[in-house]
Amino acid sequence: MIGLNLRRWVSMLLMCSGVSLIAATLLGSENPAKQATSANQGAADEKVVIPPGKENLPAEDVFKNVEILKGKPASRMPGMMTALNGLLGVKCAYCHDVNAWEKEIPTKITSRHMFAMIGDTNKKYFSGENPDPITCWTCHRGAAKPTSGQQEIMAAMQNLPEDRKKLIADITASLGENKDKPAGEVFHNIQFFKALPAARLLTVMNVYTIALGVDCSNCHVIGAWEKDDKPAKRMVMTMNHVVADVNAQLFPDQPAKVACYTCHRGAEKPVNIPK
């Protein structure tokens, strides 16, 4: 029942004008291993109360210090807050002072930055798609802090399919003394990671297969690796820009915290709504 209610609220949010802002709120330090169901149990003790007769007034006329829903009916506020409780696995007090809802606290300020970032990302890279492909759920899956997938990827690297192990071993052996040279000098048509040692690039390619749950042939023409024939390879190039852009907006001058695995979790297409 919790999952169904969460999906209903997200569906409603996705149908709302400007809902692209309701997304990817990378907050705090909750355990990223939490799943949606457990994260939503006892989600919110507080409820948003709208004074009778004011449901259709603009949200900023009913509540103080409103930005995200400015110009929208106040009646949308309870549903939005309930959805965010479930999508991030937090209670209202995580982003609000429940004794002074309008007060600015760090997580509330951060969430607004995240809303702006995800709205910009959907518009810039996925303009015209309906519903928006990136939402809070895409990254969070019921946890306040999304995972970068480091532990999951490290475990998967120890259990690669035998055919992929052989392919990587054969390519590595063919590099010979070139294995430590920049990948841009060794391989053809390298758009990213040009300065990375050639042998290290193979590890990066393995990470892609794990993050997206695919094999090398999904994006590449085997034996003609430099070709850009496959749509999946072109999409990965676009998504590399997305990841770099998001990290630059959210974490300037810091190590990257958002990676392919953050959204994909081993699936070629990320999930934007709870199932």
For residue range 63-99, list pLDDT tens digits in order: 999 999 999 999 999 999 999 999 999 999 999 998 9
State how many domains the chain has: 2
pLDDT at position 77 is 93
pLDDT at position 24 is 31
Rounded to whole angstroms, how far apart are CA atoms 260 and 240? 8
Rounded to whole angstroms, how far apart are CA atoms 148 and 173? 30
Could you state, in chain order, the average pLDDT of each consecutive group of 10 residues for the chain (275 residues)?
A: 50 43 30 33 62 95 93 94 92 93 93 89 87 91 92 94 94 96 97 96 96 96 95 95 93 91 95 87
pLDDT at position 168 is 94
Count of CB atoms situated within 10 Å of the CB of 259: 19
Q: Domain with 199 in it: what CATH number?
A: 1.10.468.10
Please check whether residues 181 and 122 belong to one and the same domain. no
- pTM above threshold 0.85: no
Q: Where among 125, 146, 167 does a domain terminate?
A: 146
Tell me the average pLDDT of the chain.
Answer: 84
DSSP track, 18-52: TGGGS-----S---TT--HHHHHTT--S----PPT
Please check whether residues 166 and 196 belong to one and the same domain. yes
Q: pLDDT for 214-248, tens place per residue?
A: 999 999 999 999 999 999 999 999 999 999 999 99
pLDDT at position 10 is 54
Note down the domain range covering 74. Answer: 2-146
